[in-house]
Amino acid sequence: MSNKVAIIAANGGLFDAYKVFNIATAAAASEKEVEIFFTFEGLNLIHKQGMHALDMPAGKEHFAEGFAKAQVPTVPQLVEMAQELGVKFVACQMTMDVMGLTKEDFVDGIEVGGAVTFLEYAKDAAPTLTF
């Protein structure tokens, strides 16, 4: 049985952040090795400024109240927690080049890599998830 979980984060909205980090932190807290590959809009989720102001999907803004009521942690809190639990963040080099971003634009402790880096990690991971 594989003890590795591989996640691709390819979208950058608030809901996407919760989908990615909830699964990642839950897996890490259950003794799994976890790596997230952030590509395209997914880079928002670990962008130093961007992660503080992720958008709700259009027309779903009313869920803000539900988030507050359910005492859900904020995205930056989840990012910190994931890193504390040993979740590895890999930012996609190609997307960063396209968007004119550097490693310094992101939270500390990330790695930068390409598609092959992720594929090599994910080849014996189960499950591999895409958000």
Partner 1 sequence: MNITQTLDAKGLACPMPIVRTKKAIDTINSGEVLEVLVTDKGALNDFTAWAKAGGHTILEQKEEAGVLYFYIQKA
Burial class, 59, CB count within 10 angstroms (exposed 0-12 / middle 13-18 / buried 19+): exposed
Q: Among 8, 32, 38, 75, which residue interacts with partner 1 (rule: CB under 8 A)?
A: 32
DSSP class of 106: B
Q: Give the interface segment with partner 1, choosing from 18-26, 34-42, 97-105, 112-120 (CB under 8 A).
A: 18-26
Residue 29 binding partner 1, by CB under 8 A: yes
Q: How far apart are CA 74 and CA 67, in angstroms?
A: 9
CB 10 within 8 A of CB 121: no
* Distance in Å, CB of 30 to partner 1, minimum: 4
Nearest CB to partner 1, comparing residues 101 and 107: 107
Residue 25 binding partner 1, by CB under 8 A: yes
**Number of chain residues interacting with partner 1 (CB under 8 A):** 13
Instruction: With CA atoms as reference, report the closest residue to 55 among 65, 64, 66, 46.
Output: 64
Q: How far apart are CA 114 and CA 25, in angstroms?
A: 23
* Distance in Å, CB of 63 to partner 1, minimum: 13
Binders of partner 1 among residues 89 to 118 (CB under 8 A) are none
